[in-house]
Amino acid sequence: MTHYDHKSIEAKWQKHWAANKTFKATNNSGKPKFYALDMFPYPSGAGLHVGHPLGYIASDIVSRYKRHKGFNVLHPMGYDSFGLPAEQYAIQTGQHPAETTKTNIEGGTDKSGNKIAGYRNQMDRIGFSFDWDREVRTSSPDYYKYTQEIFIMLFDSWYDNDADKAQPISLLESRFRESGNSNINAATDEDLKQFTAAEWNAFTEKEQQEILLDYRLTFLADTEVNWCPALGTVLANDEIVNGVSERGGHPVVRKKMRQWMMRISAFAERLLTGLEGLDWAESIKEIQRNWIGKSVGAMVSFKLNEHKIDVFTTRPDTIYGVTFMTLAPEHELVDQITTAAQKDAVEAYKKATAARSERERMADVKTISGVFTGAYATHPLSGEPVPVWIGDYVLAGYGTGAVMAVPCGDERDHAFANYFAGQEGMPAIKNIFDGVDISEEAYGAKDKTPLCNSDFLNGMSYKQAMYTAIQKLEEIGAGKGKTNYRLRDAVFSRQRYWGEPFPVYYKDGLPQMIDRKHLPIELPEVDEYLPTEDGAPPLGRATTWSWCTKENKVVSNDDDRDCVYPLELNTMPGWAGSSWYMFRYMDANNENEMFSAEAQEYWNNVDLYIGGSEHATGHLLYSRFWVKLLHDLGKVTVEEPFQKMINQGMILGESAFVTRVNNMVSLRDSIKRPELSLTDAVKESTIRRLKLSNQYYISDFGNKEEREALRQIILNDLIKEYPNETEWENTENFLHFYVDVIPANVEFVNRDNELDISAFKNWRNDAKNAVFYSSKDGTFKVSREVEKMSKSKYNVVSPDDICDQYGADTLRLYEMFLGPLEQAKPWNTAGITGVYGFMKKLWKLYHNDAGFSVSEEKASPDSMKTLHKTIKKVQDDIENFSFNTSVSSFMIAVNELTAQKCNSREVLEPLAVLVSPYAPHIAEELWSLLGHKESISEAPFPVFDEKHLVESSKTYPISFNGKMKFTLDLPVDVSKDELEKMVLENEKVQQQLEGKQIRKTIIVPGKIVNFVVG
Partner RNA sequence: GCUCGAGUGGUGGAAUUGGUAGACACGUUGGACUUAAAAUCCAAUGGGUAGUAAUGCCCGUACGGGUUCAAGUCCCGUCUCGAGUACCA
DSSP state of 827: -
Q: In the chain, what's the furthest Cα-to-Cα distance?
A: 112
* Closer by beta carbon to RNA, 549 or else 829: 829
Minimum Å distance from CB 487 to RNA?
A: 9
- Rounded to an integer, what is the distance from CA 329 to the centroid of its chain? 34
Q: Alpha-carbon Rg of the chain, whole angstroms? A: 36
Please spell the DSSP secondary structure of 587-645, one letter per residue: GTT-SSSSS-HHHHHHH-SBSEEEE-GGGTTTHHHHHHHHHHHHHHTTS-S-S-SBSBE
The answer to whether 641 and 68 have CB atoms below 8 angstroms apart is no
Cα–Cα distances in Å, from 773 out to 555, 709, 753? 66, 9, 15
User: Which of 368, 513 has the CB closer to RNA?
Assistant: 368
> How far, in Å, CA of 399 to CA of 331, rounded?
12
Cβ 10 to RNA shortest distance, Å: 19
Closer Cβ to RNA, 435 or 1006, answer by number: 1006
Q: What minimum distance in Å lies between the beta carbon of 973 and RNA?
A: 18
Residue among 657 and 944 whose Cβ is closer to RNA: 944
Give, for 1008, the enclosing helix (H) or strand (E).
strand 1008-1013
Nearer to RNA, 756 or 876 (CB): 876
Beta bridge partners of 645: 609
Closest CA to 594 of 221, 915, 145, 219: 145
Least separation, in Å, of the C-beta of 669 and RNA? 44
Residue 548 vs 892, nearer CB to RNA: 892
- 752 vs 985, beta carbon nearer RNA: 752
Q: Which of 300, 351, 306 is nearest to 333 (CA)?
A: 306
Work out how close the CB of 876 gets to RNA at its nearest, in angstroms, rounded to a whole number. 6
Is residue 686 exposed (0-12), middle (13-18) or buried (19+ Cβ within 10 Å)?
Answer: exposed
Contact present, 645 and 284 (Cβ < 8 Å):
yes
Name which of 248 and 837 has its Cβ closer to RNA.
837
- Minimum separation from the CB atom of position 883 to RNA (A): 9
Which phi and psi (to 5°) does residue 168 adopt?
Answer: -65, 145
Nearer to RNA, 136 or 466 (CB): 466
Burial class (CB in 10 A: 0-12, 13-18, 19+), 311: buried
Between 261 and 651, CB nearer to RNA: 651
Q: Which is nearer to RNA, 296 or 687 (CB)?
A: 296
Nearest 10 degrees: CA dihedral of 534, 538, 539, 540? 10
The CB-of-705 to RNA minimum distance in angstroms stands at: 24
Distance CA 63, CA 33 (A): 11
| Helix axes 832-845 and 920-929, enclosed angle (nearest 10) | 10
In the complex with RNA, the residue whose CB is nearer, 578 or 1010, is 1010
Quote the DSSP letter at residue 298: E
Between the alpha carbon of residue 983 and those of residues 512, 564, 960, 988, the distances in Å are: 88, 97, 12, 9
Distance CA(884)–CA(10), nearest Å, equals: 22
Q: Nearer to RNA by C-beta: 440 or 534?
A: 440
Would you say 86 and 632 are in contact if contact means Cβ atoms under 8 Å apart?
no
Region of residue 612 (phi > 0: left; psi between -120 and 50: alpha; otherwise: beta): beta
> Cβ of residue 788: shortest distance to RNA, in angstroms?
9
In the complex, what is the shortest distance from the CB of residue 330 to RNA, in angstroms, rounded to a whole number? 11
Nearer to RNA by Cβ, of 184 and 610: the residue is 610
| CB 495, CB 234: distance < 8 Å | yes
- Cβ 630 to RNA, closest distance in Å? 26
Query: Inter-axis angle of helices 619-632 and 282-292, to 10 degrees?
Result: 70
Which three-class secondary structure state does DSSP give residue 197? helix
- 258: Cα within 13 Å, side-chain hemisphere: 8
List, in order, residues 6 or more apart from 249 with CB less than 8 Å away.
Answer: none
Q: Minimum distance from CB of 18 to RNA (Å)?
A: 31
- Look at residue 504 and give its three-state secondary structure: strand
- Smallest separation (angstroms) from RNA to the CB of 998: 11
What gap in Å lies between CA 154 and CA 158, rounded to an integer?
8
Could you give the CA distance from residue 650 to residue 290 in angstroms, rounded to a whole number? Answer: 23
The alpha carbon dihedral of 558, 561, 562, 567 has a sign of: negative
In the complex, the smallest distance separating the C-beta of residue 624 from RNA, rounded to whole angstroms, is 17
Least distance CB 394 / RNA (angstroms) = 4
Handedness of CA 384, 388, 392, 395 (dihedral sign): positive
Taking the complex as a whole, how short is the minimal distance between the CB of residue 189 and RNA, in angstroms? 17
Between 62 and 658, CB nearer to RNA: 62
Answer whether 472's CB lies under 8 Å from 72's CB. no
**Nearest distance in Å: CB 733, RNA:** 38
When the beta carbons of 20 and 833 are compared against RNA, the nearer one is 833
Q: Are 321 and 430 in contact (CB under 8 A)?
A: yes
Whether the Cβ atoms of residue 579 and residue 626 lie closer than 8 Å to each other:
yes
C-beta closer to RNA: residue 319 or 523 = 319
- Nearest distance from C-beta of residue 649 to RNA, angstroms: 8
CB of 704 to RNA, least distance (A): 25
Q: Using the minimum distance from each CB to RNA, give the nearer residue, 507 or 996.
A: 996
